[in-house]
Amino acid sequence: MSRRRLPLGIWIRLVVLSVGCFAVLMPVVWMVLTSLKSAGQVFVTPPIWVFSPQWHNYAEVFELVPFQRYILNTATIVGLVVLGTLLSCSFSAYGFARLKAPGRNAIFMVLMATLMLPTTVTLVPTYIVFNHLGWLNTFKPLILPAYFGTAFFIFLFRQFFLGIPRELEEAARIDGAGYLRIWWAIFLPLSWPVIATVTVFTFIAAYNDFFGPVIYLSDESKYTIAVALSYFSGSPRIGPQIHLTMAATTIAALPSILVFLLAQRYFIRGIAVSGVNK
Amino acid sequence: MTQQRVVVRPVADRPSVSRSPRPRLTMTRRQALWCYVFIAPAVLGLLLFSLGPMIASLGLSFTSYDMLTSPIWTGTENYGALFADPIFRKSLGVTLIYGVVSVPATLVIALVLAILLNAKLPGLKFFRSAYYLPSVISGVAVAMVWKWMFNGEYGLVNAALAKVGLQGPAWLTDEQWALRALIFMSLWGFGGTMLIYLAGLQGVPKELYEAARVDGASTFRQHLHVTVPMLSTVTLFNLVMGIINSLQVFAEPFVLTQGGPNNSTLLLSVYLYQNAFEYLKMGYASAIAWVAFAIILVLTLLVFRSTPMWVHTATEDDR
């Protein structure tokens, strides 16, 4: 596209969008810049923009707090949550999309209605039950619910399954395949776009979750990245060292940003569906 | 057990492939059984993690329970105490201000950006990603960044204000400004709403703009009279979701201010957390949850009731 041919309206849009973009990305830039400053440079007013980057700040974060531990904890929880969500949601969605049974549609409606249910309403009793089971300070309360389906993702899988031609499974049934085989060997391999969308969404949600980990995990060795980060500014080890706090924040923000940048189209598709189809 | 409840379906409407009716009946019955097997995880999840806890928390809200001794039935005492509780009333007010300012402001910003981004532009993909980027960052990380942004002495916000000759407040430690800072920060997460609007814009027929242009409408008026009404169902969705979310925001106020100073940023979810997990007042916390839930239900109902006035449902002649 040659520059000359751009109409004035487009130029105005570009200028407005660039200014807005600058403002929106500023906090991220500021975070990264601060994370590379030395302890002294952080407290210079007005803020300095040119300095030699102190990359060792990042290494220092790993030395001061057991960040590897937090990464491992988070990876365990997020991995198992993603797996459980994919299995349980696609499994249930197959029943909702393809198999007829009395009461099925009513159950589906109730399930969809729970999308409006704020998590705070179910929080206290769930906590009490997990406490009775002796599961506090374990990952179980954070992982287990993922194996019982999530309304929105069941909805996404069901929508996709409804569009798969019936001839495919009829052929398989003639060959003697049962419903389990059909779900596993025909429907799942066909639905990779939904699998990708659900994976990305679940990853971001589980990775960013704070309320769950903060009430269930009390032992520092069990912390997720989000919980550990929230205690940083007051912690005796990092305390008021803003440059280190910002380095830790940058590390914490990186996985969600990377996943978003790598899997943008699935992400955008999922959001688009959520807004338009309801 | 399920077998006895399965309704025998009429087979008359099925194509009459020559088979005796018996295996066909067992076929439908078998299918129903398998259906229940497949939807079992979702049904169990519904009972164990949604409906069950929901009813349990309603029950708990009529008790006094500290998790150490058995719950004591206290009737509506918690609810009476709530409305006499000055901190709860303050928290309710704070949440209301937060929602009333943050939700509509987010909608406006998201819509304007969606309109700007809904055109063939150089760098379009970059702009869309850049504007959405902050929305994927976790609440805790966002709060950490903004805590530093809002730092009264060394923060970027006040440095920028100083550039134009203004003396910025201490934001998060100033009772007057903390909630405003929180609301301002919440606007950073407009990305999701913007993408939903962008998706909605794809469905607005181009001819409507043509027609408006022929009638001599300016770009602004075209959007006001075409885009806004055509996207009203999307706005409805975003509005309802925004209301629900604003009553659930937790990580940001918790990390940023812990509800302070002087409870000026004590959103309902933070007060609920304090009661449940700091004071172990499980019954009282459940009552807070149910009041919040009731507010969501009433507001959602009001929004839906008001829809005939502002939501334009697509009809045949829009096409």
Domain count along chain B: 2
Q: What is the amino acid identity at position B124?
A: L
Evaluate whether residue B232 is within a structural domain.
yes
- Chain A positions in Cβ-Cβ contact with residue B244 (cut-off 8 Å): 116, 118
Residue pair B60/A124 in contact by the 8 Å Cβ criterion:
yes
- Euclidean distance between CA atoms B165 and B161, whole angstroms: 6
| A121 → closest Cβ in B7, B127, B289 | B289
B104 and B192 housed in the same domain: yes
Considering the domain architecture, whether residues B136 and B38 belong to the same structural domain is answered as no
B13 has a pLDDT exceeding 80: no
Task: Choose the closest CB to B42 out of A26, A111, A123.
Answer: A111
What pLDDT is stored for residue A175 in this prediction? 87
Q: What is the CATH number of the domain that holds B135?
A: 1.10.3720.10
Which of A41, A107, A122 is the best substitution to test chain B (most B C-beta atoms within 10 A)? A122
Cβ-Cβ pairs closer than 8 A, A with B, add up to 291
Query: What is the pLDDT of chain A when averaged over all its residues?
Result: 89
**Which residues on B lie below 8 Å from A150 (Cβ)?**
45
Report if residue B206 sits inside a domain. Answer: yes
Residues B49 and B123 in one domain: no
Verify that B300 and B210 share a domain, yes or no. Answer: yes
Could B136 and A260 be called an inter-chain contact, meaning their C-beta atoms sit closer than 8 Å? Answer: yes
CA A33 to chain CA centroid, Å, is 25
CB atoms under 10 Å from CB of A40, counted, come to: 8
**If contacts are CB pairs under 8 Å, which of residues 69-108 in chain B contact chain A?**
none
Residues of A in contact with B311 (CB under 8 A): none
Query: Domain boundary residue among B60, B92, B108?
Result: B60
Say if B71 falls within a structural domain: no
pLDDT given at position B274: 95
CA atoms within 13 A on the CB side of B48: 16
Arithmetic mean of pLDDT, B50-71: 93
Rounded distance between C-alpha atoms, residue B29 and residue A99, angstroms: 11
Amino acid found at B4:
Q
Residue B169, domain member (yes or no): yes
| Statement: residue B263 has pLDDT above 80 | yes
Same domain? B17 vs B165: no
**Same domain? B128 vs B181:** yes
Which pLDDT score is estimated for A119?
A: 86
Closest-CA residue of A relative to B233 is A276
pLDDT at site A237 = 60
Q: Is the ipTM of this complex over 0.90?
A: no
Decide if B71 contacts A128 (C-beta within 8 A): no
In a domain, B220, yes or no: yes
Which residue among B56, B147, B269 places its CB closest to the CB of A120? B269
Check residue B241 and give its pLDDT: 87
* pTM attached to this predicted model: 0.87
Q: Which of B50, B119, B198 sits opposite A117 (nearest CB)?
A: B50
Do B210 and B258 reside in the same domain of the chain? Answer: yes
Q: Based on the domain organization, do B100 and B54 belong to the same domain?
A: no
Q: Is residue B12 assigned to a domain?
A: yes
- Could you list the residue range(s) of the whole structural domain that residue B101 is in? 80-318
Q: What is the pLDDT of residue B12?
A: 47
> pLDDT digit of tens for each residue in chain A (278 aa)?
445 567 887 888 899 999 999 999 999 999 999 999 988 888 887 888 888 888 999 998 898 888 899 999 999 999 999 999 999 999 999 999 999 999 999 999 999 999 888 888 999 999 999 999 999 999 999 999 999 999 999 999 999 999 899 888 888 888 888 899 999 999 999 998 899 989 999 999 999 999 999 999 999 899 999 999 988 766 656 557 889 999 999 999 999 999 988 888 777 776 666 654 43
Burial of A129 (0-12, 13-18, 19+ CB in 10 A): middle
Residues B172 and B209 in one domain: yes
pLDDT reported for residue A203: 94
> How far, in Å, CA of B68 to CA of B280, rounded?
9
How far apart CA B251 and CA A9 sit, in angstroms, is 41
Q: Which of A28, A104, A120 to mutate to test the interface with B (most CBs of B within 10 A)?
A: A120
Q: Looking at residue A235, what is its pLDDT?
A: 60
The domains located in chain A, with CATH, are 3-58 (no CATH), 66-231 (1.10.3720.10)
Preferred mutation among B124, B136, B166 to probe A, highest tally of A CBs within 10 A: B136
pLDDT at B314 over 60: no
Closest CB to B289: pick one of A42, A120, A260: A120
- Quote the pLDDT of residue A274: 60
Q: Are residues B261 and B177 in the same domain?
A: yes
- B162 and B193, same domain (yes or no): yes
- Residues B215, B87 share a domain: yes
The position carrying tokens 């920060």 is B185
Q: Which residues of chain B have a CB within 8 Å of the CB of A210? A: 138-140, 250-251, 254-255
Q: Is residue B70 part of a domain?
A: no
B6 pLDDT above the threshold of 50: no
Task: Judge: A215–B300 Cβ closer than 8 Å, yes or no.
Answer: no
In a domain, B74, yes or no: no
